[in-house]
């Protein structure tokens, strides 16, 4: 069904007139602006949020790791939604272009010759596509705090914070604009991130000055974050092993895991925790953990996590390294996965098709759009986001047992969320407040290590010094949605 805008949060979201190829698009710049201006209608069916296929222009400046590589190599190896066949077809039909620093189209005539282009600094890659967005769970976004400069909300799992890949309208930023602010003109600046599969506290700036101030706080280590996770096994054994430094902060034992994070696959967003600092592109990383509860029937533990640094997938990779992966994390749990569809139903495979009346339909959900629609590009075989990545066709998870419980900006904000429903499997109610009051840091001289560190040294150490992530802070604090 199509849902009107929720009564408390704004007006009805109206569909858009789609830009057609026969409409004389003019210049690429004009074409881009027309496509970017389109609106969207959200539909809801069987607990899922749906967005009909739409036209979109992707633009990106070349990244340093792309320099010296062919366009074909970059597109086929870095983007999970692109098959080799899709990349070749898009280039041959003029749907992928390269512009130099002066804005000149380097390949004005469509053809596969662009596949051999060697990427260089200050070039812009342009890609026109019909996008099939992944479904998302039909979960409301709860506002936790709002002032003149910031809004803090509880992000549901299954949606990214900002536009990424084949996600645009099913992103937190766009849902907030349409369902909380009622489609009124609004700029929102993501200043930190949560993984798509992670739920919980997220803060967005409402103006560029506030975004810059938040970024300055990140670089000066003014933030503390607490996550809840469910991991496989009895996590208390970590305190008896030597993979972590263990300290007693007066409220119990805290395990401090030091090392490095590195990217294993940009295309599939897989990262690895390692002790080897010589690994290519390895960045310092630290996470602290506190045991909360153990369920012997499930053989799972509930733990608190404090990522001192802010590396992508840091907590997920750290607990895997320790031998206690998040119990339903398909990416980082190589063993038996916990049954979690009660909390996180799988997202159906995206399979949009046009019926004989020109309406989009999704047979798997029995959904048919109420109005006729027509994409601007030809063969549906070459649309993107069809759940046909290189690893094969399969349903996608909608969430993992990882929840951002608390976010503190020293002297400015202290935001807490309710615990997720899955803590009930440990005899804890989601609205119990004690979890959000447990800290995992001791920045004073009282935090003494009481067991050996990973190298076997027995001498006392002070609580580890925080490691800032200035590169990521600057990127997010200045990013426009």
Q: List residues with catalytic annotation.
A: 195
Contact 386, 181 (CB under 8 A): no
Could you give the CA distance from residue 470 to residue 481 in angstroms, rounded to a whole number? 20
**Cα 371 → chain centroid:** 32
DSSP notation for 335-354:
SPPP--TTTSPPBPPP--EE
Q: Tokens 């309208």 map to which residue? A: 169
Q: Could you tell me whether strands 448-449 and 245-248 are parallel, antiparallel, or unpaired per DSSP bridges?
A: antiparallel
How far apart CA 206 and CA 200 sit, in angstroms, is 19
Cα separation of 39 and 216, whole Å?
34
Contact 383, 390 (CB under 8 A): no
Confirm if 268 and 76 have CB atoms less than 8 A apart.
no
Contact 253, 241 (CB under 8 A): no
Question: Is the Cβ–Cβ distance between 224 and 306 less than 8 Å?
Answer: yes
* 419, 402 Cβ separation under 8 angstroms: no
> Computed from CA positions of residues 184, 189, 192, 194, in that sequence, does the dihedral angle turn out positive or negative?
positive
Query: Which of 153, 158, 258, 233 has the alpha carbon at shortest distance from 200?
Result: 153
Residue listed under structure tokens 């980082």: 332
CA atoms of 401 and 171, how far apart (whole Å): 20
Report residue 479 as tokens. Answer: 């990013």
């Amino acid at each position: 069904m199509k849902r009107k805008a929720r009564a408390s949060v704004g007006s009805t979201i109206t569909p858009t007139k789609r830009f057609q190829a026969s409409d004389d698009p003019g210049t690429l710049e004009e074409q881009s602006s027309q496509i970017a201006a389109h609106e969207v209608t959200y539909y809801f069916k069987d607990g899922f949020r749906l967005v009909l296929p739409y036209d979109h222009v992707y633009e990106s400046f070349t990244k340093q790791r792309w320099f010296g590589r062919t366009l074909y190599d970059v597109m086929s190896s870095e983007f999970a939604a692109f098959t080799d066949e899709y990349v070749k077809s898009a280039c041959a039909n003029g749907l992928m272009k390269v512009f130099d620093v002066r804005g000149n189209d380097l390949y004005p005539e469509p053809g596969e010759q662009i596949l051999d282009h060697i990427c260089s600094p200050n070039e812009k890659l342009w890609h026109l596509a019909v996008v099939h967005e992944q479904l998302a769970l039909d979960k409301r976004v709860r506002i936790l705090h709002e002032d003149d400069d910031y809004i803090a909300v509880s992000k549901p799992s299954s949606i990214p914070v900002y536009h990424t890949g084949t996600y645009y309208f099913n992103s937190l930023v766009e849902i907030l604009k349409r369902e909380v602010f009622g489609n009124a003109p609004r700029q929102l600046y993501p200043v930190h991130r949560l993984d798509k599969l992670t739920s919980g506290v997220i803060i967005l700036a409402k103006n560029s000055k506030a975004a810059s101030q938040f970024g300055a706080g990140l670089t000066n280590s003014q933030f503390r974050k607490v996550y809840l996770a469910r991991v496989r096994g009895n996590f208390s054994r970590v305190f008896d092993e030597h993979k972590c430094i263990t300290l007693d902060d007066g409220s119990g034992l805290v395990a401090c895991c030091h090392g490095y994070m590195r990217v294993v696959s940009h295309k599939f967003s897989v990262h690895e925790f390692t002790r080897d600092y010589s690994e290519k592109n390895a960045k310092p990383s630290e996470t602290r953990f506190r045991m909360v509860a153990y369920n012997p029937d499930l053989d799972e533990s509930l733990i608190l996590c404090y990522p001192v640094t802010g590396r992508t997938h840091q907590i997920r990779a750290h607990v895997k390294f320790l031998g206690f992966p998040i119990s339903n994390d398909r990416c980082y749990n190589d063993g038996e996965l916990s049954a979690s569809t009660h909390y996180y139903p799988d997202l159906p495979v995206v399979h949009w098709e046009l019926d004989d009346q020109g309406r989009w339909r999704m047979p798997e959900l029995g959904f048919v759009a109420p109005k006729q629609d027509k994409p601007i590009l030809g063969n549906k075989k070459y649309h993107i986001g069809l759940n046909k990545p290189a690893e094969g066709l399969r349903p996608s998870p909608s969430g993992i047992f990882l929840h951002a419980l608390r976010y503190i900006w020293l002297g400015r904000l202290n935001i807490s969320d309710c615990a997720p429903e899955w803590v009930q499997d440990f005899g804890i109610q989601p609205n119990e407040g004690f979890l959000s009051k447990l800290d995992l840091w001791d920045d004073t001289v009282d935090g003494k290590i009481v067991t050996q560190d990973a190298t076997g040294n027995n001498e006392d150490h002070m609580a580890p010094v925080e490691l800032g992530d200035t590169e990521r802070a600057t990127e997010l604090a200045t990013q426009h949605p």
